[in-house]
Structure formats: C-alpha cells, structure tokens
Structure 1
Amino acid sequence: MSDFVLTTPVVLTIFNRAHLAKRVFEEIRRAKPTKLYVIADGPRPNHPYDKERCLAARAVVEAVDWDCQVFKNYSDDNLGCGRRTASGLDWVFSMEEQAIIFDDDCLPHQTLFRFYQEMLDRYRGDDRIVSISGNNYRFSGQRLHYSYHFSRFPHLWGWATWRDVWQRYYDFKINLWPEIRDNNWLTDIFGLVQAEAGPSSEVFKTICRDEDIRYWSRKFNIIHKEMWNTWDYQFFFMCFLQNGLAVLPNVNLVSNIGFGDEATHTCSVTELANVPTEPMTFPVLHPPFMIADAFADAYMQLIFNRSC
C-alpha cells in the first residue's frame, strides 16, 4: 500500500452529523486524495439546532493537512438529501471524469481506495458496468474465489462511478417510470419468461416473485410523484433499465455507521448496520466472466423486501 497514490477525486456529502463526518473524513485523510469535493446541505427550517450542527459538520473538512485541492459546494437552504446529493454530483461530474463518493456515515476500509481506483481504470468505457461498490454482507455465502463479483444492485454506501454513466443515464425524476410500469417491464427485469408449445401457438408464462415487483413499484411510484426526497433509488432505476452491473468486492469494504434516530432514511437498525470491514487482498484476482451473482442478489432482495 505504501506505493499507492490516490489520484481519483473523492467526494464527501455532509449535513449536520459532525461526529460521523469526522470519522469518515479521517479515513479520507489517511488516503490523501489529491482532490476532495465536499457537498453540504443547509439547515432545515424549524430545526433550531441545525445551523450550529451544519457549521460543525463543515468545520470537519477544514482539517485538510495534506497536498490536496478542496472544492466546496455548500447550500444555504435545505434542499433535502435527494436534491442536494443529486445536484452536488451534477457539479462534481461537470469537472471530473470519475469519482469515489461517500456519505457522512459510510466508513471505508483503507484498502477500498486502491481497489476502487483499479476498478475504475479497468472498467472505464465498459457500458456493462455502472458503478463500483464496497458492500459485501456475506449473509448468503460466497460462490467465487475471485476478488469481486457482479451484481444487478449498485450498492451506494461508499461507491464510485464515471461522468459518462452519471450524465448519460441518471434521471432524478425517473421520467421513464410510467412507461416501465404501464407495460409491466418490471416483470422482465425481475422475472423469468418461459415459452411453452400450445395447441396452436406458443404460450408464454412469467415466473416472478410478486414481493419483488411490489417493492420496487412502491419505491418508484413515490419517487416519480416527488413524494420522497431521495436520490439513490433513481440510480437503481437507471441500472435496471440499462441492464447494468455493479462491481462488488468479496469482502466488506464499507460500514454504514449512521443507522439510528439521527438518520434521514436508515432510522431503524437492521442487519446492514455497522457491518465490520475487512481488507482487500492485492493483487486483485479478476473473474474471467461477467455474470451477475443471482444467489447473492436474491438474498439482497429479501433484505430489501423486509425493509418496507
């Protein structure tokens, strides 16, 4: 690790949790990126302590003491988690070709930075890959001895992607959702269509889990109606529509330390909270094929369904 130089820009999104932001910042500080982008939301109306807490969170990044360009995009008003993150990443990718992105509660292992940079370089320009992710919960076991596998789910708790992916596909309002919903395209995404010979023509049968369809339909419906200020499910939507894959490591490289009452979305502690991190082993052993791990994805879908 001593010869590794982190040249990929790092993005940190913050709000009002200085104690969490400080822990994540300290790991970024150890990695010493040459560029750091900070995205901050403003205080909420009718929350008297927000102004002080937002200022405290912003003070954390003033501790940059290595050779690093720091770029700040701070909102005076509260845009909400979704609009603030999406607009902030629009800003980042107007200037950078690729980036490693952390929320204030996504605590990385140090080996994540080298792994992400190598994966960004390896899969740049490959239209099949939409993101690099750091999560591996290992609840369903492991099938492979390679350093990483592929998933249909772009886990976004400490992740990386490219300008081309973000600018070409990301749509905060998911304008294609009515067409996808009304023509039952989720069945094609999450189901299996079988053709059987009938008396006069083929008969097509669809095999799918209704719970999966209901889960994603609920999420996408409320996002399209602008009833939920989030940004990450839109990235999932984009990934599904493009048949995109995410790179996931064979060890967990990011721990979400932000579950609890102060969280915006992860208020209830689940099995995904505070999962310990482990080091990535180098050199990276690349799989000789690009197939989504359906077993791991099915297990994650069960976790998603339970989270409703």
Structure 2
Amino acid sequence: MKLAPIALFIYNRPEHSRKTLEALKKNDFAKDSVLFVYADGPKDNATTQELLKIEQTRDVIKSKKWCKEIHIIESKKNKGLANSVIDGVTEVLSKNDSVIVLEDDIVTEKGFLKFMNQSLELYKDEERVFGISGYKFDCDKPIKQSTYFLPIMSSWGYATWSHSWSKIDFNANRLNQKVFDRNLKDQMRFGTLDFYGMLQSQVSGRLDSWAVRFYTSMLLQNGVFLFPNKSLLRNIGFDGSGVHCQRENKVEKDINNYIKPKKIEVSINPNIYDNFQVKNHQKKITIKNIKKKLKKY
C-alpha cells in the first residue's frame, strides 16, 4: 500500500503545533510517511510578539525528524487558513493521488494514519466518496458499525483524493446560486450546524472558510464522507488561541486508538443519519427529502 503524504498547516501556535507533531510522530505509519508543512506568514500589521510566535512555531517544525521525510514551505506573507489550505492541498495533489490533512491543533491517536491510508485504498475508485474523516460528530446513541457515510464533511483531520479535490468549486457566489436554483437551503442544516448560514457569511465576506465551499460542492454532487464510529483525534484549539476557534470547554468523547475499516456499500444509513440530527424549530431534515431534492438534477 502506497502511503498518502501528509499536509500540515501551521501559523503562530508553537505549543499546539508541538503537541500535534508529537502525536503524529507516534502514529504507526509516521516513520514511512512524507510530511509537507505549510507555515503561513505574518500579517502586515504583525507585532513583535506575533512575529516571535510565528518564528517559534517554525522552529518547532525544524526541531525533530517527525516523519520519514519533511518538506517545509514558509510563506512570507499571510494567506489566511482558507487560502493556505486550498493552495497547499492543491499543490500536494498535483503530484500525488491522495493526501491526509491536519491543522496545528489536531492531536491524533496512534492508529489515525493507518485508518486513513487503509480507507483511502478501500474507496479510491468510488467517485461518490469525497473523503475520509478521522473525527466523529456527537450523536445521541452509540453507533455499532465501525464506519458509515454522511452527506457532510469534517475538516478536523481528514483525507481526500486528487479526483475529488478537482471537483470542488471554491467560488462561493457560484455555489450560492446553485443552492438557490435547486432550493437546497433547508438541506444544508446538519444537527446544530447551519452550513447555509456559513455559506452566506462566506459570500458576504464575514467568513473565510474553504470547508463550507468543499461541503457545498460535495452536497451539490450527492457526495459523501466516510466517518469512524469513534474519533481518532482530539481538537485542542478551543482555548481561544486560534483565529477561527473561540474559547470553549469542549471535551472529546468516544475516542479510539484505531478502527479497522472494512469496505461497505456507499450509501447513507437513514437510522445513523437521523441519530446525528437534533430537533430544531425548523422542519426536521431527513436523508429521504435530501434524496428527493438531489434526484431532480
């Protein structure tokens, strides 16, 4: 099995980056993997303290041999996370069939890379599968089967293929028009996650997210993501240190060291899907009426 390269995106959090890398180094396949680190640059008005944190973060990357091979790409100017991810993933996938993507606040379990690589191999020829998640969203009841599909994606430790990435439209205005034309506004709510609201914020410039554009593109093409029944990672960014993550007392539950993926039918189990939904004041969205909407196109 050819191992997928890893793309890690960092900025100005040296201790978060260190924890992310220490955990990555302990992964089963780390010693045989190639790591690309994209270090974002300083903003035009960066203070001396901010410049120091950026430099310290880059020093952490250079302090050890975290994987078999490391390539560090340092930006002189600040791109922002969205543009950094879009540019970096596109660059890696221009020379590779697949990629595993991490940010500087994702602490992985020992079997994360193994699960990702095995899953990438299992579903590489399934056009409807847009990616693999190492994170499990919260739900009401335990999920018995080891893996399952959902019509949404997670940006917390994921993997994708070049053929999937090439189908993503990062033009928010164009995506918004397609959602309007197909009347999919109500289908863009997953539990408490309002992806339609995020898309509107992207269009208006109040939000800069590559993930909401990935998700919308995937939804419009009836795509799915593979998820584990327990998380293979923890997000340590909810301490107020991140640009997009506010302070929050979040404790990850249902974490496992490794889950062995088995090839399953590429379809959405309605019972599992409904398990993730919560009762809203709006009409409850079910997988059945999502299919009805998409079937027209």
Question: What's the TM-score bracket when you normalise by the shorter of the two chains?
Answer: 0.7 to 0.9
Deviations, residues 42-85 of structure 1 (Å, cap 9, x unaligned): 11233312211111111122134377232222211111121122
- Say whether the 8 Å CA contact 1:177–1:220 is kept in structure 2: yes
Matched, 1:225 2:224: no
Q: Select which of 248, 251, 255 maps to 1:277.
A: 255
Give the counterpart letter for 2:152 in structure 1.
F
Q: TM-score, normalised by structure 1?
A: 0.80
Deviations, residues 203-251 of structure 1 (Å, cap 9, x unaligned): xxxxx99x87xx3332112212333222111111112111111111011
Matched, 1:118 2:118: yes
Rounded to whole Å, the distance in 1 between the matches of 2:3 and 2:160 is 14
**Deviation (angstroms), 1:108:** 0.7
Match of 1:62 in 2: 62
The 5-angstrom pairing of residues 190-205 of structure 1 reads none
Matched, 1:20 2:16: yes
- Say whether the 8 Å CA contact 2:151–2:268 is kept in structure 1: no
**Mean CA deviation greater in 61-70 or 148-157:** 61-70
Match of 2:287 in 1: none
Question: CA 1:44–1:120 in 2, change beyond 3 Å: closer, same or farther?
Answer: same
Larger radius of gyration: 1
For these two proteins, the number of residue pairs brought into alignment is 275
Question: CA 1:92–1:65 in 2, change beyond 3 Å: closer, same or farther?
Answer: same
- Say whether the 8 Å CA contact 1:152–1:240 is kept in structure 2: yes
Give the counterpart letter for 1:46 in structure 2.
N
Question: CA 1:274–1:291 in 2, change beyond 3 Å: closer, same or farther?
Answer: closer
Question: CA 1:166–1:113 in 2, change beyond 3 Å: closer, same or farther?
Answer: same
Rounded to whole Å, the distance in 2 between the matches of 1:33 and 1:226 is 41
Q: Select which of 203, 222, 236 maps to 1:243.
A: 222
Give the counterpart letter for 2:163 in structure 1.
D
- Say whether the 8 Å CA contact 1:6–1:33 is kept in structure 2: no
Matched, 1:294 2:273: yes
Question: CA 1:75–1:116 in 2, change beyond 3 Å: closer, same or farther?
Answer: same
SS at match of 1:16: coil
The 5-angstrom pairing of residues 102-117 of structure 1 reads 102-117=102-117
Matched, 1:96 2:96: yes
**Deviation (angstroms), 1:105:** 0.4
Give the counterpart letter for 1:163 in structure 2.
S
Identity %: 22
Rounded to whole Å, the distance in 2 between the matches of 1:67 and 1:280 is 19
Rounded to whole Å, the distance in 2 between the matches of 1:74 and 1:110 is 28
The CA RMSD measured in Å over matched residues stands at 2.8
- Say whether the 8 Å CA contact 2:11–2:54 is kept in structure 1: yes
Deviations, residues 108-158 of structure 1 (Å, cap 9, x unaligned): 111111111110001002111111001124531124x32211111211101
Question: CA 1:39–1:9 in 2, change beyond 3 Å: closer, same or farther?
Answer: same
Give the counterpart letter for 2:36 in structure 1.
Y
Match of 2:141 in 1: 141
The 5-angstrom pairing of residues 208-223 of structure 1 reads 215-223=194-202
Gaps of 5+ in 1: 192-207, 303-308
**Deviation (angstroms), 1:160:** 0.5
Gaps of 5+ in 2: 282-297
